[in-house]
């Protein structure tokens, strides 16, 4: 597995370096750092509360399902990171700057993207009125991870795929 990870690290290094140059602009780095921090969970808590506010007590089961799906997402990405141990781009490649402090050491998969996709898909099911806010935010979170030098594009893509699988599994339980 280490050989596969090394292969992709090298394959994606140039893209990471080019995209990460954007973080050299203070305003862009600041903007995406805020997006990243909101993606730590605060934004999604507000979206869950929005589901409740728009639906009253009927929104409580949806918010609970979002929370449980989020918990499952934490378990999945932590398990994968612990076993796959892919170093973050800013650690592995000279010239890639770390735009904000990471929550943990390893990069694969992107937990921020996993949660953004899973929560956005759940919001689409439970309260589509929130999609005009949730969908662009999820895209910005995914972009922030590469711009800030914290993830490779494949980390983000796999995080998105896992998030979609988690949301689908969660919705299948309805």
Please tell me the distance from the alpha carbon of residue 139 to that of residue 39, in angstroms, as a whole number.
Answer: 11
Please tell me the distance from the alpha carbon of residue 66 to that of residue 128, in angstroms, as a whole number.
Answer: 14
Q: Residue 105 in 3-state DSSP?
A: coil
Q: What is the pLDDT of residues 54-71, one digit of tens each?
A: 999 999 999 999 999 999
Q: What is the pLDDT of residues 76-124, one digit of tens each?
A: 999 999 999 899 999 988 899 999 989 888 999 999 999 999 999 999 9
Q: What is the pLDDT of residues 8-40, one digit of tens each?
A: 778 788 999 999 999 999 999 999 999 999 999
Please tell me the distance from the alpha carbon of residue 2 to that of residue 149, in angstroms, as a whole number.
Answer: 21
Where do the domains of the chain lie, and which CATH numbers do they carry?
2-172 (1.10.606.20)
The pTM assigned to this predicted structure is 0.93
Encoding tokens for residue 86?
Answer: 């892919």
């Amino acid at each position: 597995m280490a050989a596969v990870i090394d292969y992709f690290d090298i394959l994606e290094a140039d893209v990471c370096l080019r995209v990460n140059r954007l973080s050299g602009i203070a305003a862009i780095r600041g903007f995406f750092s805020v997006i990243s921090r909101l993606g730590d969970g605060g934004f999604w808590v507000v979206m869950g509360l929005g589901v409740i506010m728009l639906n009253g007590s009927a929104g409580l089961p949806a918010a609970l399902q979002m929370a449980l799906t989020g918990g499952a997402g934490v378990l999945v990405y932590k398990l994968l990171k612990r076993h796959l141990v892919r170093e973050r781009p800013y650690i592995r490649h000279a010239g890639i700057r770390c735009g904000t402090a990471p929550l943990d050491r390893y990069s694969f998969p992107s937990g921020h993207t996993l949660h953004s996709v899973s929560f956005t898909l759940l919001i689409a099911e439970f309260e589509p009125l929130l999609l005009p806010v949730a969908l662009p935010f999820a895209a910005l979170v995914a972009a922030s991870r590469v711009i800030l030098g914290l993830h490779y594009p494949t980390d983000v893509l796999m995080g998105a795929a896992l998030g979609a699988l988690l949301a689908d599994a969660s919705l299948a339980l309805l």
